[in-house]
Amino acid sequence: MMSHSGHIMTLANSIIGVGILAMPFCFQKCGIVLSVILLIISGWVTRICCHYLIKSSLLTRRKSFEFLGFQAFGSSGKLLVELCIIGYLLGTCITYFVVVGDLGPQIVTNLFTLQYETTKLRTWIMIAVTILCILPLGMLKNVDSLSTVCTASIGFYICLVFKIILESEAHIIANDWSDSVVYWKPAGILQCLPIFSMALSCQMQLFEVFESINNQSLEKLNGIVRNATWICTFVYIAVGFFGYVAFCTQSFSGNILMNFSPSFGSDVIKIGFVLSVAFSFPLVIFPCRASIYSLLYRKGHSDGLGYIPEQRFRIITVFIVIFSLCVALMIPSVELIIGLVGSTIGVVICIMFPASCFRKIIKKNSTERSLAQFILVSGFCLMILGTYANLNAIDEKSSGAHLGPVDVQLNMKNPTKT
DSSP string covering 190-224: HHHHHHHHHHT--GGGHHHHHTT-SS--HHHHHHH
| Spatial contact of 361 and 72, defined as CB atoms under 8 Å apart | yes
Cα separation, 240 vs 39, in Å, equals 10
| Spatial contact of 391 and 340, defined as CB atoms under 8 Å apart | yes
Cα separation, 266 vs 258, in Å, equals 10
Question: What is the distance in angstroms between the CA of the first residue and the CA of the last residue of the chain?
Answer: 43
- Can you list the residues of the chain whose pLDDT is less than 70? 1-3, 113-118, 142-151, 214-215, 253, 298-306, 332-339, 394, 397-418
Cα separation, 403 vs 273, in Å, equals 34
Other CB atoms within 10 Å distance of the CB of residue 148: 12
For residue 298, give the DSSP letter: -
Which amino acid, residue 133?
Answer: C
Angle between helical axes of 218-246 and 147-167 (0-180°, round to 10): 30
pLDDT of residue 143: 63
| Spatial contact of 81 and 69, defined as CB atoms under 8 Å apart | yes
For residue 261, give the DSSP letter: P
pTM of the model: 0.80
Cα separation, 189 vs 390, in Å, equals 11
Cα separation, 290 vs 48, in Å, equals 24
Strands of 45-147, DSSP E: none
CA 194, 195, 199: angle at the middle one, nearest 5? 115
Exposure of 203 in the CB half-sphere (CA atoms within 13 A): 34
Q: Which domains does the chain have, with CATH numbers?
A: 2-413 (1.20.1740.10)
Cα separation, 4 vs 1, in Å, equals 5
| Spatial contact of 233 and 20, defined as CB atoms under 8 Å apart | no
Spatial CB neighbours of 200, under 8 Å, sequence gap ≥ 6: 15, 39, 42, 43, 46, 229, 232, 233, 236
Spatial CB neighbours of 273, under 8 Å, sequence gap ≥ 6: 21, 99, 103, 156, 160, 257
